[in-house]
Structure 1
Amino acid sequence: MCNYTSGENGTEMRHPTYAFVLGSVILVGLPLNALSLVILCRCHSLKSPSAVFMVNLAVSDLLLVVSLPLRVFFYATGTWPLSDLACICVTMLFRNNIRSSAFFITSISVDRLLAVVYPLRSRHLRTSSNAWKAAVFVWLLVLVINIPESMHFSKFLNKLNGSSCFEFKCHQRSLMHYIQPVLVFTMLVINMVCTALVSWTLSRRLNDSAGVKNKVNVMLIFAMNLIMFIVFFLPVSLGILIESWRPVIPPLICLASVNCCLDPLLYYFSFDGFWRRTEEVDSSLARE
């Protein structure tokens, strides 16, 4: 059953704390991700599958950041002056960020796993062409998911007569409310397996392979990937499914939005401490 009246006036729907947090995410996330995208495109060859996935991850984060000013306005004023279509677009950009980021971060982990554990056997798989194909597939999948989910979301917005956008009480769920937590949890497990295998491999090869000089940087990448899922992606995905968590969905959305501010650290550790050394390991192993 759905309660289509928000039951709140504009003052009661104001949340200055949420507006402050999301505004801070804009101030930090926009320049960091824009700069990261420029650096990735200009200073690193997109022939690397890692660079391809990171460019797409940066694009995903920028799409999230550009949607946040409307959320800031809503939580600062308690009103939604735009159309239902605009509300749907802003909501989908947030959900798309979680899904696409989860896919791209998992792709980065799998690429790292192949590079460290199977450097020779995986060379035919770890190509920029395959990385671009995977990235295109992810974006197409995300867009296809948007169609039924947007239609489901618009049914309830029509009943609200434009009185709200992000906060209304509805207990009916779409199929994606069940699928998304499963997908996020599955990709979390994949990242955990990749982390364990790479850690085990480096513990055996660190002293033998001169190319891998900084195990800390390598493992920081995987640690950050796990943090992204455990702290930012999984809680909000469970929140839209578990009824008792519904009151904390806005704080979880604010928390999940912070992920776009931390992704540039992933780029730094990857290219400064891992990517070049991985290529050196590949070369040294190929000569043996």
Structure 2
Amino acid sequence: MNLTSVMENLTLATNHSDCFSVDSASRRRSFLFFYLAIIITAIPSNAFSLYVSWQHIRQKNELGVYLFNLALSDLTFTVGLSLWLDFLWRGVWAHGGYICVLSVYFLFTNFYTSDALLCCIALDRYLAVVHPLKYTSLRKVGTAAAVSVAIWVLVICFNASTITWEDSYQENNKIPVCFDTFLPMSENLARANVVRFFLGFIVPILLVVFSTWGICVAVKSNQATEEQERKRILRLLTVVLFCVLFCFGPIHIMMLLRTLVHCTDVVWFLYAYKFSIAISSLNCLADPFLYCFITRAGQANVNQLILFFQGKQRSKNKGVV
């Protein structure tokens, strides 16, 4: 072996090591507190959202089916975040490769079930406003349940075929790392990231924009629609568009860029990539906003909850006096 080959191998080994060791403890801790705040907020809000969406289902409202599955997806992901907190605190993954792959699996399952269900909500509102009498069979609880099951099955199968041990878990210098295994990227992961970008971001954006635009045109031309109802519909679609564009946009752009990044560039890329994942986790907080503050049943349940706690507070104050 000549000197040139030896230097090339040494460079590759050094770069490979840098890919796994560039993140500092201080930056990890900042993400730790961020995710801790999300867990504390998201678990009770999504648990309450399950109750609110169940009220929709009891009223034979197909929207409740999509909202219920959204809350279920968010709760599953949020509970799994506790493993990431431990990883960020220690700096090493202490739970083995199988749990690592499973946690990555939960992450991407939440991404794409939420993504698809948000599209279903937008399309459901589009049919309800633009074609209220034409596609009634598509706006039934049974149809919504079948669509939701299909989404779960398709997402689970897609993740099973694209998430691998090699791309999720590695031990560099006997230091186990989960999901920070950036480079060198396998061909399987590169193809999966391209598919995720188009199916998980571009297609949902087009569907939500199409639905929003169609509803805006229909609402403006329909003078019979009350002003308050118009605002409620537009608020709902604004939150849906925000979730898809802001929560899922950065992570999918970074996934696409990841296929082009070289190992020497990973120092700047690592933090940006982790930041995009942190932004995507905000969908666990944005989704409950759909149930509790925009839909009618959600607003009614929130008001009941507020009145309940106000009544308990008054009773407590009277007892003190």
TM-score after normalising by structure 2: 0.78
Greater shift, 14-23 or 167-176, is seen at: 167-176
Amino acid at match of 2:138: L
Alignment of 1:229-268 (within 5 A): 229-243=244-258, 244=261, 246-247=269-270, 248-268=272-292
Indicate conservation of the 8 Å contact 2:292/2:298, yes or no.
no
Which residue matches 1:87? 100
Deviation at 1:150, TM superposition (A): 2.7
The separation in 1 between residues aligned to 2:257 and 2:20, in whole angstroms, is 21
Deviation at 1:240, TM superposition (A): 1.6
Which residue matches 2:169? 157
Over 3 Å counting, the alpha-carbon distance change for 1:112 and 1:252 in structure 2 is same
Secondary structure in structure 1 of the residue aligned to 2:114: helix
Counterpart of 2:234 (choices 201, 213, 219) is 219
Q: Deviations along 1:195-218, whole A, 9 cap, x unmatched? A: 01101111111x3245x7421111
Indicate conservation of the 8 Å contact 1:218/1:274, yes or no.
no
Over 3 Å counting, the alpha-carbon distance change for 1:29 and 1:190 in structure 2 is same
In proportion to residue count, which structure has more helix? 2
Which residue matches 1:204? 221
Amino acid at match of 2:249: L
The separation in 1 between residues aligned to 2:27 and 2:90, in whole angstroms, is 6
The separation in 2 between residues aligned to 1:54 and 1:17, in whole angstroms, is 31
Secondary structure in structure 1 of the residue aligned to 2:206: helix
Asked if 1:31 is matched to 2:48, the reply is no
The separation in 2 between residues aligned to 1:262 and 1:69, in whole angstroms, is 20
Amino acid at match of 1:127: K
Deviation at 1:13, TM superposition (A): 8.2
Indicate conservation of the 8 Å contact 2:49/2:291, yes or no.
yes
Greater shift, 83-92 or 100-109, is seen at: 83-92
Amino acid at match of 1:98: F
Amino acid at match of 1:261: L
Indicate conservation of the 8 Å contact 2:100/2:178, yes or no.
yes
Indicate conservation of the 8 Å contact 2:43/2:78, yes or no.
yes
Alignment of 1:34-45 (within 5 A): 34-42=47-55, 44-45=57-58
Q: Deviations along 1:217-236, whole A, 9 cap, x unmatched? A: 11011111111111110110
Deviation at 1:241, TM superposition (A): 1.9
The separation in 2 between residues aligned to 1:238 and 1:10, in whole angstroms, is 21
Secondary structure in structure 2 of the residue aligned to 1:240: helix
The separation in 2 between residues aligned to 1:4 and 1:83, in whole angstroms, is 21
Alignment of 1:108-147 (within 5 A): 108-147=121-160
Secondary structure in structure 1 of the residue aligned to 2:275: helix
Structure 2 alignment gaps of length 5 or more: 1-11, 262-267, 301-321
Highest CA radius of gyration, 1 or 2? Answer: 2
The separation in 2 between residues aligned to 1:13 and 1:178, in whole angstroms, is 32
Amino acid at match of 1:188: I
Deviation at 1:168, TM superposition (A): 2.6
Alignment of 1:64-83 (within 5 A): 64-83=77-96
The separation in 1 between residues aligned to 2:182 and 2:141, in whole angstroms, is 45
Secondary structure in structure 2 of the residue aligned to 1:163: strand
Indicate conservation of the 8 Å contact 1:4/1:169, yes or no.
no
The separation in 2 between residues aligned to 1:270 and 1:14, in whole angstroms, is 36
> Runs in 1 of length 4+ with deviation above 6 angstroms?
273-276
Over 3 Å counting, the alpha-carbon distance change for 1:123 and 1:43 in structure 2 is closer
TM-score after normalising by structure 1: 0.86
Indicate conservation of the 8 Å contact 2:101/2:163, yes or no.
yes
Counterpart of 2:195 (choices 179, 184, 190) is 179
Amino acid at match of 1:149: T
Greater shift, 235-244 or 88-97, is seen at: 235-244
Q: Deviations along 1:149-206, whole A, 9 cap, x unmatched? A: 233x43662554562113233132522211111011111011001101101111111x
Indicate conservation of the 8 Å contact 1:99/1:142, yes or no.
yes
Amino acid at match of 1:264: P
Deviation at 1:237, TM superposition (A): 1.2
Secondary structure in structure 2 of the residue aligned to 1:171: coil
Deviation at 1:249, TM superposition (A): 1.0
Secondary structure in structure 1 of the residue aligned to 2:87: helix
Amino acid at match of 2:236: I
